A and B are shown apart, each in its own frame.
Chain A
Amino acid sequence: EAAVTQSPRSKVAVTGGKVTLSCHQTNNHDYMYWYRQDTGHGLRLIHYSYVADSTEKGDIPDGYKASRPSQENFSLILELASLSQTAVYFCASSMTGGARNTLYFGAGTRLSVL
């Protein structure tokens, strides 16, 4: 019944490899987000999207690409994974943008780059 589903829940990747994290929402929301969580840094916005086939840069987009092929799906792509990208990644959705809208989060993907 979870409205925002992330896959995989955990992944081990090798340095220099390609990693794709997937997110699917059933909220019928226009906005989707990818956040990264590191200890002591809270959640930092990587990319977001407000419509299919379009993505926007967040606060820390370097080293990441995003893809929104449909309203329901939003992927985060690490073309050349690096050690510094080891973190927990969260996808979220909201009806519209801005602070007056609730973000609904997935359970997260724990990525370890070795």
Chain B
Amino acid sequence: SQLAEENLWALSVHEGESVTVNCSYKTSITALQWYRQKSGEGPAQLILIRSNEREKRNGRLRATLDTSSQSSSLSITATRCEDTAVYFCASNYGNEKITFGAGTKLTIKP
């Protein structure tokens, strides 16, 4: 079973629009990570947000963490075609193993 899960399998928006990918997790965590995987590549981390942080930014990316609802979101503003990718949330549950969600496939349309 997935310990962290994105809430939608696929999303699409037009270039320049903003988009949000959501993630829910099942128990307490020490941190949550967002990864992006472009076609034919390995995943690459975008943001790491710790359990005592509520928001983290990285350029056009903004991640939030709500420990009360056990959820996180990743927002991308001013989307570009190169943002087309699969986005994963990942975390662990008091051990060394990092568990990934199934991913949300984001398509940016011209």
Contacts and interface: CB of A to CB of B under 8 A. Distances in A.
Interface of A: 4, 31, 33, 35, 40-45, 48, 50, 56, 58-59, 90, 92, 94, 97-100, 102-103, 105-108
Given A42-B88, A42-B103, A108-B42, A100 B50 contact: yes
Given A97-B95, A105-B42, 19 more contacts: A4-B42, A33-B98, A35-B100, A41-B102, A42-B101, A42-B102, A48-B97, A58-B97, A90-B43, A97-B92, A97-B96, A97-B97, A98-B95, A99-B29, A99-B32, A99-B91, A100-B31, A103-B33, A105-B44
B19 interface: no
Contacts of B48: 99-100, 102
User: Looking at B31, B42, B44, which has the most chain A CB atoms within 10 Å of its CB?
Assistant: B42
Contacts of B35: 103
Among B29, B100, B101, the one with the most A-chain Cβ atoms within 10 Å of its Cβ is B100
A40 B101 CA distance: 10
Interface of B: 2, 9, 29-33, 35, 40-45, 48, 50, 88, 90-92, 95-103
Given A90-B43, A100-B30, A42 B100 contact: yes
A99 B33 contact: yes
A97 B31 CA distance: 12
A107 B102 CA distance: 18
A114 B79 CA distance: 40
30 contacts: A35-B100, A41-B102, A42-B102, A42-B103, A43-B43, A45-B97, A45-B98, A45-B99, A48-B97, A90-B42, A90-B43, A92-B42, A94-B98, A97-B92, A97-B95, A97-B96, A98-B30, A98-B96, A98-B98, A99-B29, A99-B30, A99-B33, A99-B48, A100-B50, A103-B43, A103-B45, A103-B98, A105-B44, A107-B41, A108-B41
